[in-house]
């Protein structure tokens, strides 16, 4: 049974009409993490194995300022500087490249206040 991510986005400018956009993606594999990051964390490690070439959908959001690194062994693949209420979203077919550019086996998270990290990826395995 395929797994799916469904993004429903609403946009309104200057009291105009609300525009709604829906993006759906299915795949047969997933990796996800919903983790409480302790305050004063530096390189807090979270297991997060994924293969970049298989990624079909990404959503990453936090409720406090955090820097999230994707790592493959000791090599940093991606760096995401995250702020609350500003999610990173991407799906196959979006008009920009996938933000995951290298294979990953761990996340390393740095956050002074700590908070909640949510990171979900669909992969076509």
Taking the alpha carbons at both ends of the chain, their separation in whole angstroms is 13
Average pLDDT value over all residues in the chain: 97
Pair 105, 31: CB distance under 8 Å: no
Mean pLDDT is lowest, of 12-16, 57-61, 85-89, for: 12-16
* Residue for token pair 């009409």: 17
Q: Is the pLDDT of residue 25 over 90?
A: yes
List pLDDT tens digits, range 67-118: 999 999 999 999 999 999 999 999 999 999 999 999 999 999 999 999 999 9
pLDDT for 4: 97
Pairing of strands 41-50, 104-111: antiparallel
Domains of the chain: 27-123 (2.60.120.380)
Between CA 50 and CA 106 the distance in angstroms is: 9
């Amino acid at each position: 049974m395929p797994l799916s991510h469904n993004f429903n986005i609403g946009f309104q400018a200057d009291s105009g009409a609300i525009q709604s956009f829906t993006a759906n993606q299915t795949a047969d594999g997933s990796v996800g993490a919903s983790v409480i990051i302790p305050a004063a964390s530096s390189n807090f490690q979270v297991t997060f194995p994924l293969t970049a070439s298989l990624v079909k959908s990404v959503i990453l959001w936090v409720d406090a300022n955090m820097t999230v690194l994707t790592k493959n062994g000791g090599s940093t693949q991606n760096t995401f500087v995250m702020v609350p209420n500003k999610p990173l979203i991407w799906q196959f077919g979006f008009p920009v490249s996938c933000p995951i550019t290298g294979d990953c086996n761990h996340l390393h998270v740095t956050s002074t206040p700590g908070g909640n990290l949510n990171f979900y990826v669909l992969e076509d395995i």
